[in-house]
Amino acid sequence: MNTRRTTHVTVLRALLAIAPRLFNEHMISATPFLWLQHPVDDAAYFYAELFDGEVLAEEYSRDSQLATIRVAGQTIHLFNAGPRKELTDAFSLQVSCSTQEDLDRIWAGLLRGGTPTAAGWIDDRFGVTWQIVPVHLNEWLRDPQRGPHVTEIMQGMVKLDFALLQAALRGD
């Protein structure tokens, strides 16, 4: 019986030792890769500071700039190799905020040199489009009875307001 336990422990240790390679070799991930028309280092450090993130890597040459950042748990690659590609609002990054204070802070940061559009959307000074929303917004919008009213109220806003959206959800 002791031999059997030892064999099981040995097999388990061997599996645990190779598990990271097994899972990583077969893992598929998607990471945004944004081609900016602005200095990548400016954008990388701006986003890292605004979102309490970090700059993971930087590579600069005469012809291109590349930085990898992690913001709000998401890895993003930033690239600039000249004015060949333009970002559009057909692609946006959505940030879900737990509090109005977080939403206000992030909105204010993106607004520095940025342009608000509508319903929580804002184009920052680097040309990236963001949606800054309450964490429960999708749930509120899907409410079968109050969702249409929440949508109507939201569409009248530029920066989203937790209290007004929650009032719409309650039917106030």
**pLDDT bucket at 13, cuts 50 / 70 / 90:** low
Structure confidence by residue, pLDDT tens digits, 98-152: 999 999 999 999 999 999 999 999 999 999 999 999 999 999 999 999 989 999 9
Q: What is the DSSP letter of 37?
A: S
Domains annotated for the chain, with CATH where assigned, are 88-172 (3.10.180.10)
Compute and round to an integer the Cα radius of gyration of the chain: 22
Alpha helices in 26-75 (DSSP H): 40-50
Structure confidence by residue, pLDDT tens digits, 47-75: 999 999 999 988 888 778 999 999 988 99
Taking CA atoms, 112 is separated from 86, 98, 104, 115, 155, in Å, by 20, 22, 13, 8, 23
Residue from 121, 126, 118 nearest 94 by CA: 121
Q: What is the pLDDT of residue 88?
A: 87
**What's the whole-model pTM score?**
0.79
H or E element in which residue 165 lies: helix 162-170
- Sheet strands side by side (includes 54-60): 33-35, 74-80, 65-71, 54-60
Q: What's the token pair of residue 70?
A: 């992690």
User: Rounded to 5 degrees, what are φ and ψ at 25?
Assistant: -65, -30
